[in-house]
Amino acid sequence: MSSRKKLIAGNWKMNKTSADAVALVQEIVAEVGRVTETEIVVCPPFTALECVGKKLEGSTVKLGAQNMHPEASGAYTGEISAGMLRSIFATHVILGHSERRTYFHETDQFINQKVLVALKNQLKPILCVGETLAERESGSTLKVVQTQVEACLEGVSKELATSVVIAYEPVWAIGTGKVATTAQAQEVHAFIRSLLIKLFGDAVAQKIRILYGGSMKPANAPELLAQKDIDGGLIGGAALETRSFVDLVNAAVAAG
């Protein structure tokens, strides 16, 4: 039993039309819309944020975006600002997902700007970090994760740090069906906790949630969620279906 409330976040990625998104969120709300023991966040694509948000009204499920731009407004074709997300009552935003780092060349410095802007706008960043297979095989996992955590959290105050959520997502486990072993995951989570202690002090670091992400499913979730420093999950594939997402929420509730 941890003092940190577990968090299950669904990253829907580039899936679901608005109509499909509404159908999914209605089922999710019907099943777990009153759960308070675990925090639940759904992150639909931009086009479905507003209509999904409307269906979340009156439930405990929160709304998150999958990305945002650090500028407040202006000539940034195709981008969305923190203020725009706040205006439709989003509370969370995924930042630095490995797909954005890989396909859109996002750097730690750019992600850091977004983290600071999100926090300034009362949006809780879900900051993704994690190593590639080559990095794991060459033994540089902890070094890579340390660089990402430190660079992306540069300038974050102790006061705002408790609003940050970290998601440790080994890139080789995302969408591949290859889940990290509980020992591999816990090792990196404990390491991230030690970095957070150095950055913000023990009291603050003990309040920051560190999620695991990468092929998390109802079958492997209980063991992962039982680890001391695993405070929830960032779920891709298994968040696209009501049954598996609800089962993951229930696993988090059971893990306490």
Residues found near ligand PGA in the complex (CB under 6 A): 11, 169, 174-175, 213-216, 234-238
Is the Cβ of residue 141 or residue 160 nearer to ligand PGA in the bound state? 141
Q: How far is the CB of 87 from ligand PGA (least distance, A)?
A: 25
Q: What is the 3-state secondary structure (H, E, C) of 112-134?
A: HHHHHHHHHCCCEEEEEECCCHH
Q: How far is the CB of 135 from ligand PGA (least distance, A)?
A: 17
Is the Cβ of residue 169 or residue 229 nearer to ligand PGA in the bound state? 169
Please state the length of the chain: 256
Is the Cβ of residue 8 or residue 32 nearer to ligand PGA in the bound state? 8
Is the Cβ of residue 90 or residue 204 nearer to ligand PGA in the bound state? 90
Q: How far is the CB of 216 from ligand PGA (least distance, A)?
A: 6
Helix (H) and strand (E) counts for the chain? Answer: 12, 8
Q: How far is the CB of 140 from ligand PGA (least distance, A)?
A: 21
| Ramachandran quadrant class, 64 (left: phi over 0; alpha: psi -120 to 50; beta: rest) | beta
Catalytic residue among 39, 69, 92, 97: 97
- Residue recorded with tokens 């060349």: 105
- Report how far apart the first and last C-alpha atoms of the chain are (Å, whole number): 5
- Provide the token pair at 207: 């309040």
Is 106 catalytic? The answer is: no
Q: How far is the CB of 169 from ligand PGA (least distance, A)?
A: 6
- Cβ-proximal residue to ligand PGA, closest one: 236
Is the Cβ of residue 170 or residue 200 nearer to ligand PGA in the bound state? 170
Please list, in sequence order, all residues whose beta carbon lies within 8 angstroms of the beta carbon of residue 60, skipping any fewer than 6 positions away: 33, 34, 35, 36, 39, 40
Catalytic residue among 106, 131, 135, 169: 169
48 residue type, one letter: A
Rounded distance between C-alpha atoms, residue 191 and residue 46, angstroms: 33
Is 169 catalytic? The answer is: yes
- Residue recorded with tokens 């899936």: 15
CB of 187 within 8 A of CB of 223?
no
Positions marked catalytic? 97, 169
